[in-house]
Amino acid sequence: MTVAQENKILNDAEKILSLIKKRPCIIALDGRCAAGKSTLASVMKKEFGATVFHMDDFFLLPQMRTAERFASPGQNVDHERFLKEVLLPLSRGESFSYKPYECFASCFGKEIFCTPAQISVVEGVYSCRPELRKFYDLCVFADIDKDEQKNRILLRNADKAQMFFSKWIPLEEEYFEAFRIKENADLVLQN
């Protein structure tokens, strides 16, 4: 990563925090695949002490991946479990724990114990689903040019790139359109 890229990410993080009117706060960081959501969340953790939650930790269990579920947009994560195990206790300022689902190993990982921080960031596609949005103080959409998105995916996930292009990205785009995620964001960051 270049110095200019690092500076842009830090500036984006500062821009997000400047919009927050209260602490503690919960920020959703949704957006297109490879748009820099994880990197931005990592910077917010390192530079500002944010606690970061990843929607990828709530990937669907195999038995939940049904045609009926996928018939509705944005059903590619277990948002019900995320709401129950993370977002509800986080919004009430309570300590809690959850187990991330490790999709490549097809099992739950080690339990993670959390105490709410002054800044909590929920990072990942599907974080701004309508039933989750009301719990956030700010919803941010990370956008990226289609060609740059393709280049980044090929660089970081060459062996799984075709799955991104044929399955994951179309599901994400369907969700963005159905719920007008970008249009309803409090802030749009272009990467």
Cα atoms found within 13 Å of the Cα of residue 60, Cβ hemisphere only: 14
Q: What is the distance between the alpha carbons of residues 51 and 47, in angstroms, rounded to a whole number?
A: 11
Q: Give the pair of three-digit tokens for residue 138.
A: 């700010």
Question: How confident is the model over 118-160, as pLDDT tens digits?
Answer: 999 999 999 999 999 999 999 999 999 999 999 998 998 888 8
Contact 19, 136 (CB under 8 A): no
**What confidence score (pLDDT) does residue 80 get?**
97
Q: Mean of the pLDDT values across residues 10-18?
A: 86
Q: Mean of the pLDDT values across residues 103-110?
A: 89
**What confidence score (pLDDT) does residue 127 get?**
97
pLDDT band with cut points at 50, 70 and 90 for residue 2: low
Distance of CA 111 to the CA centre of its chain: 20
Pick from 4-8, 14-18, 163-167, 184-188: least confident: 4-8
* Fold category of 3-190 in CATH: Rossmann fold (3.40.50)
Does pLDDT of 105 surpass 70? yes
Could you state, in order of their start, the residue ranges of all structural domains in the chain?
3-190
Does pLDDT of 1 surpass 70? no
Q: What is the separation, in whole angstroms, between the first and last Cα of the chain? A: 13
Q: What is the distance between the alpha carbons of residues 75 and 148, in angstroms, rounded to a whole number?
A: 26
Question: How confident is the model over 48-79, as pLDDT tens digits?
Answer: 999 999 999 999 998 998 999 989 999 989 99
